[in-house]
Structure 1
Amino acid sequence: MYSITSESPAHPDITTLIAALDDYQSALYPAESNHLLDLTGLPDGKLIMMVIRDRQLNAIGCGAVVLNADGSGEMKRVYIDPTHRGQKLGEKLLAALEDEALSRSCHTLRLETGIKQLAAVRLYERCGYQMCEAFPPYGPDPLSLFMEKTLVADLRLAVL
């Protein structure tokens, strides 16, 4: 049994997971194609940070959404420990992040991922994300893919 809860990006369990993610991505891509945002400097109201824990309360995955003033958000730092993959935890984590983003008036989520992270791309596609053009602050990058998902076309419908 796994639980998904909100957590501070400065929590030691989160920093450990993000360090593992950074090591993984740094081995795949050059520094200029690694967009490793430090989440600890963001104000609480701009950030959704979640952690997945196993039965023993070990942190085995994390993910974040950075909320923008225009009602969009960017998915960041999604990671599941390799020993826990294949159990649909990524889907559950994305759903939890999307639900929380929607509750905070976020209508669209976007993300950047690398071309070598095929399992991540398949996860995002299964969860309804579609390819799109690069969005600010990114420019085109041959090693990056950009995706987005509309959570609700009209936020007034979310309250019905």
Structure 2
Amino acid sequence: MNAMITITRTTSDNLDFINLVAALDKELAIIDGDDHAFYSQYNKLDKIQHAIVAYKDELPVGCGAIKQFDSNSMEVKRMFVNPNGRNMGVATTILKDLENWAKELGYKKCLLETGKRQEDAVALYTKNAYDLIPNYGQYEGVENSVCFEKVLG
């Protein structure tokens, strides 16, 4: 029987969220290599008021967050699932809850940036009906970045 996944809405002050993001940053430092410093400057945790932690058997296994991009859009940030929680639908569960939260707050769409080398992330967003868009903001002209958006139904 599959373990139950529970979702907690919180802020970036949540210790489980902070620890999961630390694990994410370690993994990204390996995947992104020399590009990691560039990306990390845009991934600070301060002022994230909308964070999610996913728990399996009461242990934190994944996280994600949204922050306002503009008056109509929330940007999806800090998506991560621990290796022991992967391939169980945790990331999709987190993403859907972030989308619902953005909708509840009155936003019309979610957008995000991920790295081309993060094949699992690209697959996740494609599977969840995110459309490829031109790189935006600080990611314009960044070779390793790929950006997506989804209009919330």
Q: Tell whether the structures are fold-level matches, with TM greater than 0.5.
A: yes
1:69-148 residue pairs with structure 2 within 5 A? 69-148=70-149
- Equivalent residues in 2 for 1:32-47, closer than 5 Å: 32-35=37-40, 36-39=42-45, 41-42=46-47, 47=49
Aligned to 1:137, the other structure's residue is in SS state helix
- Show the counterpart of 2:29: 26
Specify the SS of the correspondent of 1:96: helix
**Cα distance in 2 between the residues matched to 1:33 and 1:126:** 27
Instruction: Report SS of the residue matched to 1:145.
Output: strand
**Cα distance in structure 2, aligned partners of 1:31 and 1:53:** 27
Q: CA deviation at 1:67?
A: 1.7
Aligned equivalent of 1:13: 16
Maintained 8 Å contact 1:26/1:34: no
Unaligned runs of 5+ in 1: 153-160
- Identity among equivalent positions (%) equals 27
Secondary structure of the corresponding residue to residue 125 of structure 2 = helix
The one-letter amino acid of 2:47's match is: L
Give me the whole-angstrom Cα distance separating, in 1, the residues matched to 2:37 and 2:18.
Answer: 22
* Alignment size in residue pairs: 147
Deviations 1:107-154 (A, max 9, x none): 1111000011111111101111011011123322111111110114xx
In 1: Cα distance, 2:118 partner to 2:138 partner: 21
Q: What is the DSSP-based 3-state SS (H/G/I as helix, E as strand, rest coil) of the residue aligned with 1:116?
A: coil
Whether the 8 Å CA contact 2:132–2:148 is kept in 1: the answer is yes
Contact 2:54 2:63 in 1 (8 A): yes
